[in-house]
A and B are shown apart, each in its own frame.
Chain A
Amino acid sequence: MKIRILVSLKPGVLDPQGRAVHHALEGLGFKGVDDVRIGRTVELDVADNTSDEALTEMCEKLLANTVIENYKIEKLG
């Protein structure tokens, strides 16, 4: 089973990297970009019987730092 985990910074957490990229997009002449936030995608290939609980635990224990990050688990089948 293919799993995609999207890790993003929580709203309100300053993202210096996103800000720098935002600045660079403006420097390239792109207009109308209001905000840029950078996250991380983690793709897993797991046994089909892997439970939702196990996936959540992977995120909570290692893949995301829940002090600053949110995560979303997507099952790609």
Chain B
Amino acid sequence: MGFRSAVITFPGSNCDRDMAVALEQVSGTAPLRVWHGDAELPDGLDFIALPGGFSYGDYLRSGAMAANSPIMREVIRAADRGVPVLGVCNGFQVLTEARLLPGALMRNASQHFICRTVGLKVENAQSIFTSGYEAGQEIRIPVAHHDGNYFADEDTLDRLEGEGRVAFRYTENCNGSRRDIAGVLNKAGNVLGMMPHPERAVDAAHGGTDGLALFEGAMKALASA
């Protein structure tokens, strides 16, 4: 049985193709491409990806407009049913704005756009998305964002840590994120938002392949589920 995934494209998404290429490379099956204005998701999806970019020109707040687009109502429904949803960069911002994940992504503390490869520590290697890694493993994944400064109140941060919902932390905090958080899971563990771009680290020509294990691990975890 093929791996049936979908990549959602919003106006202003610019990493949707990279995400689709990574998913096809790892699964052997090209993902379905879904437009933000579509009212329905394809049936029987195994995996949904919200790509990076600048949806709706980052108007109002990064991800705020996309979070209210027609397709997001369906993505929220799918997430509630347990379909794995990965949001990368702007996709993470969309997931927080859609309230599928707690917290918010604010302007980087430095005010600068950061585009470089950073170190991440895998905090939770038990989730669908991180089972291809070892807990505590350090990996290198590129970031490219202006609004990646993860904020949540102290109670929420304590809860996230207590429930093992911090998936990745920066080994060196590049953007001011509270408690160095680079990626968080929802309570059920089927939604992951992360600022770094694993889809930009799946080929030696990218300068690294540490993102591969995320997609391969997810596929393996889903196949054995």
Chain A contact residues, CB within 8 Å of chain B: 13-14, 16-17, 20, 61-63, 65, 67-68
Contact = CB atoms under 8 A, between A and B. Distances in A.
B111 A68 contact: no
B106 A13 contact: yes
A13 B68 CA distance: 24
Contact of B61 (A13, A20, A61, A65): A65
A63 B60 CA distance: 7
25 contacts: A13-B106, A13-B151, A14-B106, A14-B109, A14-B151, A16-B106, A16-B108, A16-B110, A16-B111, A16-B149, A16-B176, A17-B107, A17-B111, A20-B111, A61-B68, A62-B60, A62-B64, A65-B64, A65-B97, A65-B104, A67-B102, A67-B103, A67-B104, A68-B106, A68-B151
Most chain B CB atoms below 10 A, which of A13, A14, A20, A67: A67
Contact of B68 (A16, A62, A67, A68): A62
Interface string B112-145: 0000000000000000000000000000000000
B36 to A, nearest CB: 16
Contacts of B106: 13-14, 16, 68
B152 interface: yes
Contacts, number: 36
Chain B's interface size range is: 10 to 19
A67 B68 CA distance: 16
B9 to A, nearest CB: 21
A65 to B, nearest CB: 6
Given A67-B96, A67-B151, 11 more contacts: A13-B106, A13-B151, A16-B110, A17-B111, A61-B68, A62-B60, A62-B64, A62-B68, A65-B64, A65-B104, A67-B103
A63 B104 CA distance: 14
Contacts of B96: 67
B107 A16 contact: yes
A16 B68 CA distance: 27
Contact of A14 (B61, B64, B176): B176
Given A62-B64, A67-B96, A67-B103, A16 B109 contact: yes
A70 B108 CA distance: 20
Most chain B CB atoms below 10 A, which of A13, A17, A20, A65: A65
Interface string B47-85: 000000000000011001000100000000000000000
A64 B110 CA distance: 23
Most chain A CB atoms below 10 A, which of B97, B107, B108, B110: B107
A33 to B, nearest CB: 18
